[in-house]
Structure 1
Amino acid sequence: MQNNVLKREADALLDAGLALMVEGGGRRPRVADIVAAAGLSNDAFYRAFGSKDALVEAIVERGARTVVGYVRHRIAGAAEGGPQAQLRAGLEAVARQASDAGLARQTRAVLANASGHAPRGGHATVALVDALAALFAQPAAELGSGDPMRSARTAAGAAVAALQYWLFTEEVPGRAEVEHLVGFLLAGVRAPDPRKR
């Protein structure tokens, strides 16, 4: 019972923190504002998260899981079309984070707060690229990549870099921009492994 209460409180704080980040254009909200928005106390905040940094890290991780879950869902939905359709669906799902206005505001706010809040002391982008690469590796192998994991990581890294560019310039990618990115990356995945020439 108490675990359910703690989870509900933590979820309410995460939701409030994210909403305030989005409203503030990516600025980190104050603990007082977070607990007020969640309708909770400072005690509840510090029971769920030891610090504001811990809350921000949890928001970043949840945001990355949401993106990866959406990409996984889109890849699974394209399974009947074969590996090219799967990889295309995954890459388009990444780009959609910038083309949908609501998603773009949320993703921009999360990425703006991501610096320094990731495993391996790096950047949350590293964890996101690694997670996407794990999803892209199988289709890359089936498309004949000479080094499927390296190809998948390169495609994921390029897709995330394009996403960040679109988000932080507030440019909404149209069909032509997304198609160019996807076509370019699909061609790259099929490129032979230069180490085997």
Structure 2
Amino acid sequence: MERILAAAVTVLARVAPDEPRVSDIVAEAGSSNKAFYRYFTGKDELFQAVMERGVAIVVSYLEHQLAKEATPAGKVARWIRGTVAQVSDPHLLSLSRAASSQLTATGVSDDEILAPLRDLLTEPVAALGGRDPSRDADIVFTCTLAAMRRYLGGIAQPKRADVDHLVAFCLRGLGV
């Protein structure tokens, strides 16, 4: 299954914005249709698995980054920077573009796929003492994803000043 997931990422990046074919993914994986359909009912399920795997990798990275911070505000800032970093690297940006365009076609909601990423904000935002930490975390999450989406659609990468501004804006909104 790992070979198929890795092959899907490679093919997605290569053919984007076009939709990849199962046969291309199977060939890239050095696998067979039988093996593909043993793990996935079709492309939609595969793309969902690719996104879930990608989110799990980002969550693992962010958990490591947040552990380096002692303060809740530092954790929120690190979360924002680490999340936006996914569209700062040209390779990660092309993969994010390809995968997100295919996920949109599957009908799976961002909320479902990205919940583990959003959940990382819950504890540090609550520790800041706001009256509605769940909504506060949602707003930081939404602002950060909206900023990322600006870069998914274009060729520009986020500038450090833009990321700094986003961090400062979100922290001010949290009362920091």
Q: TM-score surpassing 0.5?
A: yes
Residue aligning to 2:36: 45
* 2:46 is equivalent to residue 55 of structure 1: yes
User: Is the Cα contact below 8 Å between 1:26 and 1:110 reproduced in 2?
Assistant: no
Shift of 1:148: 0.9
For residues 42 and 27 of structure 2, the distance between their equivalents in structure 1, rounded to whole angstroms, comes to: 16
* 2:51 is equivalent to residue 66 of structure 1: no
Residue aligning to 1:145: 130
For residues 33 and 19 of structure 1, the distance between their equivalents in structure 2, rounded to whole angstroms, comes to: 10
Residue aligning to 1:127: 112
For residues 15 and 100 of structure 1, the distance between their equivalents in structure 2, rounded to whole angstroms, comes to: 19
> 1:11-69: CA deviations, max 9, x gaps?
11111111000111243211111111111111111112121221111112112222222
Choose the corresponding residue for 1:92, options 81, 93, 104. Answer: 81
Structure 1: 5+ residue runs without aligned partners?
A: 1-9, 192-197
For residues 60 and 145 of structure 1, the distance between their equivalents in structure 2, rounded to whole angstroms, comes to: 32
Between the two proteins, the alignment pairs up a number of residues equal to 176
Give the number of the structure whose alpha-carbon radius of gyration is greater.
1
The higher-RCO structure (CA 8 Å, 6+ apart) is 2
Structure 2: 5+ residue runs without aligned partners?
A: none
* Dislocated runs of 4+, deviation >4 Å: none
Alignment of 1:6-21 (within 5 A): 10-21=1-12
Pair 1:133–1:41, CA change in 2 (3 A): closer
Residue aligning to 1:35: 26
- Give the TM-score normalised by the residue count of structure 1: 0.83
For residues 29 and 22 of structure 1, the distance between their equivalents in structure 2, rounded to whole angstroms, comes to: 9
